[in-house]
């Protein structure tokens, strides 16, 4: 049994390679915002978000007081969702990849609302409340 060969078509191989590379390129473009937790939340100015590349792509928010990153995801005009960057399977950090959040450890995939699309994760990502104000975005941590 150990000597059995598995063959795949060239098309299948190239399609799989393209998906993997697309995922890598998708996560390579996520900008990171180094924040500070103040009074149980994180405030990001809209001007700083624009400087990081705009408000139309997910931004990875990190802070010394947070064990895991938070993904700030734009949803429509002037609205945002804040999702934990910690995979609910084994705790690896998920990465934005197109319209999904993907765990690089075991392939769990979540939609931009934090819901599981593909396992092995069974539970959705934690969602943090967001207050979108005229000049800033506030993520409520605790």
Name the CA dihedral angle for 48, 52, 58, 59, rounded to a multiple of 10 degrees: -70
CA distance 93 to 75: 21
Q: What is the largest CA-CA distance in the chain?
A: 65
3-state secondary structure of 136: strand
3-state secondary structure of 51: helix
Catalytic residues: 106
CA distance 112 to 56: 13
N-to-C CA span, the chain = 54
């Amino acid at each position: 049994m150990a000597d059995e060969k598995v063959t795949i078509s060239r098309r299948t191989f190239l399609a799989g390679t393209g998906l993997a590379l697309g995922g890598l390129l998708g996560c390579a473009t996520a900008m990171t915002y180094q924040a500070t937790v103040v009074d149980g939340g994180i405030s990001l100015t809209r001007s700083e978000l624009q400087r990081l590349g705009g408000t139309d792509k997910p931004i990875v928010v990190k802070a010394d007081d947070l064990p895991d990153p938070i993904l700030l995801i734009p949803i429509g005009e002037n609205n945002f969702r804040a999702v934990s960057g910690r995979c609910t399977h084994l705790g690896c950090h998920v990465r934005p990849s197109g319209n999904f959040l993907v765990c690089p450890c075991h392939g769990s995939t979540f939609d931009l609302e934090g819901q599981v699309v593909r396992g092995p994760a069974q539970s959705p990502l934690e969602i943090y409340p967001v207050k979108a104000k005229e000049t800033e975005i506030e993520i409520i941590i605790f």
